[in-house]
Structure 1
Amino acid sequence: MDLLGDIGQADQLTATRAENAVLQQRVKELTARVKVLQIENESLKAEIEMFRKETALPNFSQLALGQQQTGINKNQTAQMAFVKAGDGTYPSTPAIVLNNLHGLSNPLCCSLNADYTILATGGADGVLSLVRWGSVYTSSAEETVRSAARYSLGTPVMCVAFSMVAKNIVAAACMDGNVYLVDSKAAAAEPQSNDNVVVLPKPHNKYVKSLAWSCHEPTLATASANGSIHIYKITPPTAFEPTMNVQFVTSLHWNDPVETCLFLPNHRFICHVRGTPFLQYFNENTFEPEKQVNLNADSSGNHDYHVSFTIMDLQLSPNQQYLAAATDANRNIILNLEGGIVRNLYGHTADGFSTPKIIWANDSYVVSNTQDQAALCVWDVASSQLVERLTIPHTQPIRALCSSGQNFIVTTSFDKQTCLWMSQHDTSGDSCMDT
């Protein structure tokens, strides 16, 4: 029996060794296959890189048409615009503080005219105020506030915007859905007369959240909490026709509030609707839909349709190549004109109960309010870094911002102060003495 047992164990050991030999051979084959795949993968990478280089070269048709570009092409230039960090120049000095432009009420919005000499503010008191802020340098801040032209519009003024084409015209939108136009040039002659006020036809039935002027012609878009956008053509007054003419063009409609809208320099109109992940694009001339860009697209081209944030404010960069977007999710975004995300900016606070605003200080820096404190947050776009929190002179959270795009910005706050900020290199006010 012992002999039979020994024979059985020997046979089992032989079989185990044979199985191990087969497995070792299989491991060798798989290892060799992995090496082959690694080599093929590296080869494919090299081919892809060669293909990219080839597609970057001008093709024959471009050469034949004389369209060859030397050095960095236009698209590459746009992508490289934020490679170099800013030089540290941005508005950081509160050069002028105007107290109580709206008396005991809070200022809610602000806008600068085309040459930045007139500041428009709207308040919870239902008043549109037009002030030549440069008179501070010849009189005083108190006298400048007293001399402001004021127009009583009945309900709180939620947003104001000067046209950059019809340079004297300012639009003011109110909580009751009405939108008004005022000729600021006429305001200088009759500062307290509502005869200068034009009421736009077809008011919204909810309050207006955004105003946008075209940069090509005096076309105005008004976006409302009721999910509608109205488009108007404005004919400014002239020496031969002193009456401002307003023509209603068309309306766009959604089921949810339109939070912000903007005209682009490439003859497009864009907007963002709450409850959607899209940036909506329209032809500026016909207002026909062109496309919608999913802001949740990742680098691989996949799309997530979950709505994780709402764009509350959109602003065009001074060089007209980029967009700054303020969201209600503790996040600001820099996009190109096609809706591609270029940078994400963090470090402030903004949720669904806040009113996040964003502006360009210049082509290198953007500025935003923050919900949790009376501070102005400044980002270097190239590095995506929050470089400074400016906490003086405001004592309450900032409600609205506007900018010249050339190191001059304005803030209004719940402390009832309106502050004009300049860079440390431009605080003398010499450029404003003629106002």
Structure 2
Amino acid sequence: MQTPVKTRLVEVVVPVHNEQRALRKSIVRLHGYLTRTFPYGFRITIADNASTDGTWHEARRLAAELSHVRAVHLDAKGRGRALRHVWSASEADVVSYMDVDLSTDLDAFLPLVAPLMSGHSDLAIGTRLSRGANVVRGPRREFISRAYNLLLRSVMGARFSDAQCGFKAVRTEVAQALLPAVEDEQWFFDTELLLLAERHGLRIHEVPVDWVDDPDSRVDVLRTALDDLRGMARVARRTLSGAARIPVPLRVRQAELPRGMARQLPRFAVVGVLSTLAYLLLFSGLRQAVPAFTANAVALLVTAVANTAANRRFTFGVTGSSGALRQQVEGLVAFLVGLALTTGGLALLPAGVSHGVELVAVVVANALATLVRFLLLRVWVFNPRRNAR
């Protein structure tokens, strides 16, 4: 019996930077798995972004040895840049990517792609944060990941559960329509793409995955966290100005937010990001003279007062002096939540950790307090019904 020809094509991009040691083993494993089990045609594209070791040489060797494998080289570094370069020119039905360490179990790849091939979804993401996922990683990375995604949901109104899992797929026509409006070229690329897709009513399918942390990961957690905060502020600013709309029309099916929240969320995000940056500066400066717990409490108190005042005026549109003192006192409830979370985060750190690790701990703990802060401010402190009395 003749084997049916696989006419539909999925492009799997593996972005790499200085991955000479892991590249061959991972690509051979991925190629073998797709050859044996994948019901669609596939192409694996190794996207080398400015490696300085032997990664590009190894990528070319693999492309010469294995069918359906090719290699492309970029002179500038950036995972987002590599994905943009390949996806923009792809003629496949679906474009996807996965991290070179293959931390995600490959059995999740067909469930990721199938809804896109059938037209039931527009984008698909692997999620490590749903009940069906099985994740093995350290408590620090687990805490940071959950805090970041909670921040996205509470401040940016995101409905997807895991923005950072390196296991995603998009219908090619959708990807190529969205990419011109995505600015980031690094790690925030995924988050910006997903936020833009949700804003335009596109359907995002989530697949719970089995995921094992790579102990050799060289991601700079602190720098990535700060870059993500800056990215969120930029997206919020563009949303407010209306510049975040894509130039190519797509089917729009936007879910309605509660009254007023569509305006409040981006403004709250901008105020929150500025407050976080001010908090980091204060904490870093005070930390040179006082213990971490004291620096944390003082920096958090100062920025909490300023944050409440800014949200009062710009997010919730409350002007005049009437009720201002009461609202500041009530706003300190959110301060106490933040203080408890950040103090707890610092207490969990082992003795003698670096100043950078302390900063990461307090940033992610502050992110956890953000959801509580927004809800308290919206439904209690600045509730129009209370302020109209």
Relative to the length of structure 1, the TM-score reads 0.22
More helix per residue: 2
More strand per residue: 1
Relative to the length of structure 2, the TM-score reads 0.24
